Structure 1
Amino acid sequence: MREFVLHYIWQHKLFVQHDLHTTDGQRIEVIDVGKPNTHAGPDFFNAKIKIGKTIWAGNVEIHNLASDWNKHRHQQDRNYGNVILHVVKKADVPVFLADGQKLPQLELSYATEIETNYEVLVSGTKWIACADKISGVPEIYIRAWKNALLLERVEQKTQEINAILQSGNNHWEEVCFVIISKSFGFSVNNDAFLSLAKSLPLMLILKNCRNVVQLEALLFGQSGLLKDLTCQDDYIEVLKREYAFLQQKYRLQPMDGKEWRLLRLRPDNFPYIRIAQLAALFYKRRQLFSQLLESPDVVSLMQLFDAVEVSDYWKCHYIPGETHVSKLKKIGKESVYSILINAVVPLLFCYGVHKELQSLKDKALLLLENIPAENNYITRRWRDTGLKLDSAADSQALICLYKRYCEAKDCLRCRIGHKVLTTIV
């Protein structure tokens, strides 16, 4: 048996709890199983166990076999001196603490179906372990889990924001520029856009944002996409000359253009177009973070991005040197939704955390409830299982569930997995 399944059984009190006795015959009452320890040392801290007539407070160690205690040399380790109970599947030997005191042991009694059904779950070949069982989990239970997962997902995204914030002297407009820029990569070029934004201090963007040619020269030049272009194109030559001047003036080091993924992309998602849109955004919205904070709802946030149009050159070019019929090339509704989900909401939530504004954190989460659910491989598979995805709050929660729990088959930490296992018993 996998030892961590015993941990799970102990933590959730899935063992037979009446008429418990140590292997020496002393009566046991489990008052508190303790808190799981994810670091070195005993498996559970701060447990409270009544053994005989005495209530003990201390730690609990769990093994399949009692002899594992000796195998791991805990009998020589004074870090285990505060263990009050050794919980095992089979007590094959007596065990002792480092001071020579005999340690009370409890053989766990539990429904063997827990083991069996856990093995069935994790050894299955379905896209998620519980694919055949999830339909039996009550909707109210899944809803509560999705709420917790949504918070976990948003908090996970704020970790990157916090790291950028610390490196940027707590300048929120700077952080906004970096995070919004990254979101313009739309998964495929996220890393490249992140590198681009980090290579350009916001101060330079603001100094040059009143001239769209200078702004495009900065962004395209820093991207590394200009230097290898050989097309005979007047506008591209203007950008090259302008960037050469700005590069020398500000001592800029451009990216390697090879960081950008150019193949197998829809034309509207070409890096050239996305960079042109980013330039247009900061040309039009010079204090973007302040405007995000002031926008009360999804509609007003959409308008901040929807009104942005690329400059004239890019209206008739997807790539430099190749013209086509003029087209507005706005960011697009689905793309704006993606920016709101992956950049704006985490930014607002993180700012709410730092400023201790619960109302702003609530606003950020409410925004997700008013944005349509994402349509991608993961969300389509969840729909196939029968789960409802009514909004981006649902899709973000279920993306978190899949990436953090299902892919790792971490069913024992998943509330749905827990429900499946305990319902079977």
Structure 2
Amino acid sequence: MTNNEYLLHYVWKYRLFDRADLQTMDGQKVDIIDPGTHNTDAGADFFNAKIKIGDKMWAGDVEIHPSSGDWTKHGHHTDESYNSVILHVAERVKGVVRNQKGVQVPQMQLIVPEDVRKNAAYLLNSKSSIPCKNHLPLVERGVICAWMVEMGLQRLERKINDIFTHMARFNNSWDHSFYVLLVRNFGFGLNSDGFERLALSLPLNCIQRHSDSLFQIEALLYGQAGLLYDDIVSDDYYLQLRKEYGFLKHKYQLKPIDGFLFKKLRVRPRAFPQVRIAQLATLLKQSDRLFSSILEREDYRQLWSYFQVDTSDYWHTHYSFGKESERSRKYLGESSFHVILINTVVPMLFAYGRKTGQEKFCDRALQILETVEPERNAIVAEFAVSGISPVSAFDSQALIQLKKEYCDKRKCLYCKIGNQILAR
């Protein structure tokens, strides 16, 4: 759909045109009682409109195009689903249009007010990554707050849809779905795809069968990650891991992924993939039923305690295999813990509450988001410069949703902030 067509939809939806003396192209008076419900899927553009044409009241659908010729160009004249269209609206009208039954469809010209067109052109063609950046300080705070709530919930909805996809893949297992999501997010962005591939290559039940041995869980994870194939490393721990993995690989008929998928460039040593896997191994060992353990912890403090796991002793003096370093414990830091909460625990709790009809888990998920401090990233920083500073992780998640789904896609006409700027 072109920007011009988006604009026509916007003008129609909010009735930003001159409503005096509206008439069809054959001269019948038009009175728009209800413009209808905007449809963003297949079918007519607006459903269930109520329009008086001449002396007769009509209820049905409305289709909108830049040109009346688009009706035939898009094949609506042969599509019976458009037989319910009671009015065809176009910016340029020339000739008649007929539906699949051969019945002529009334047409009306829609003229976009010049000030609306100019404001829309400014937003849609802005060079800024946040199109309305210079106008944000003028937007009512109530509008921004209400839209932020909607954005935060939209982002949660997107995440739980991904979880339900995992659920279908793993025979509705909450533990296995949680496991894949948890391992993915231990990649912390840069290595997320590699960590997810690791989880998908190593079934959770393989790990659960060795829940009494941290060493065997480490062997499974490092081996499946393709990180035990360096012949230069020769310390005892590494060689023992490789030997143990060789046995387990054969036992479970495992196929490792490629170690080059894990990146260390521009990564702090404490966030090296080897360290993250060590932390993950300890976490997986401490609980046989992963997701059940999360459900049992009712607040931030209990969750923090659960995720404060220590690594095996080898990693107290290493950041990678074969290179000894100063002794230090490799606990999960607070900012890393927040990433896991925001991207794993919260969406899983929300999805579980939604699926089982237990609102308390949805409420708990939202409470956690509102408790955790906002994320620090380029998107949040850019909005802060423009006058929108988040106070919680829920707010920062809302800003990420706004930026990725509206600003980046230039869907300003569907954004309530953009709507107010246009309305001014």
TM-score clears 0.5: yes
Q: Which moved more, 1:32-41 or 1:190-199?
A: 32-41
CA distance in 1, matches of 2:100, 2:171: 50
SS of corresponding position for 1:326: coil
The aligned residue for residue 341 of structure 2 is: 340
CA distance in 2, matches of 1:17, 1:170: 53
Q: CA deviation at 1:73?
A: 5.5
The aligned residue for residue 166 of structure 2 is: 164
SS of corresponding position for 1:61: strand
Q: CA deviation at 1:89?
A: 1.8
Q: CA deviation at 1:77?
A: 4.9
Assess, with a 3 A threshold, how the Cα gap between structure 1 residues 76 and 360 changes in structure 2: closer, same or farther: closer
User: Could you tell me which amino acid in structure 2 is paired with residue 131 of structure 1?
Assistant: K
User: Could you tell me which amino acid in structure 2 is paired with residue 330 of structure 1?
Assistant: Y
User: Could you tell me which amino acid in structure 2 is paired with residue 357 of structure 1?
Assistant: Q
User: Could you tell me which amino acid in structure 1 is paired with residue 377 of structure 2?
Assistant: N
SS of corresponding position for 1:125: coil
The aligned residue for residue 301 of structure 2 is: 299
Paired residues for 1:386-397 under 5 Å: 386-397=387-398
Assess, with a 3 A threshold, how the Cα gap between structure 1 residues 237 and 44 changes in structure 2: closer, same or farther: same
Give the TM-score, by structure 2 length: 0.95
Instruction: Check conservation: 2:350, 2:361, Cα contact below 8 A.
Output: yes
How many percent of aligned residue pairs carry the same amino acid?
42
Paired residues for 1:119-158 under 5 Å: 119-158=121-160
CA distance in 1, matches of 2:74, 2:390: 47
Q: Which moved more, 1:204-213 or 1:85-94?
A: 85-94
The aligned residue for residue 319 of structure 1 is: 320
Are residue 69 (structure 1) and residue 77 (structure 2) matched?
no
The aligned residue for residue 310 of structure 1 is: 311
The aligned residue for residue 329 of structure 1 is: 330
Paired residues for 1:174-185 under 5 Å: 174-185=176-187
Paired residues for 1:374-385 under 5 Å: 374-385=375-386
CA distance in 1, matches of 2:79, 2:164: 39
Instruction: Check conservation: 2:380, 2:389, Cα contact below 8 A.
Output: no
Are residue 358 (structure 1) and residue 359 (structure 2) matched?
yes
SS of corresponding position for 2:327: coil
CA distance in 2, matches of 1:74, 1:166: 36
Give the TM-score, by structure 1 length: 0.95
C-alpha distance after superposition, 1:172-231 (max 9, x if no partner): 112121111111000011111111111222111111121111111111111111123421
CA distance in 1, matches of 2:101, 2:307: 69
Unpaired runs of 5+ residues, structure 2, are: none
Paired residues for 1:8-407 under 5 Å: 8-72=10-74, 74-75=76-77, 77-306=79-308, 308-407=309-408
Unpaired runs of 5+ residues, structure 1, are: none
Q: CA deviation at 1:336?
A: 0.3
CA distance in 2, matches of 1:159, 1:229: 43
CA distance in 2, matches of 1:71, 1:173: 50
CA distance in 1, matches of 2:194, 2:74: 47
CA distance in 2, matches of 1:73, 1:360: 47
SS of corresponding position for 1:208: coil
CA RMSD of aligned residues (A): 1.8
Q: CA deviation at 1:41?
A: 4.2
Q: Which moved more, 1:18-27 or 1:392-401?
A: 18-27
Report the number of matched residues.
Answer: 422
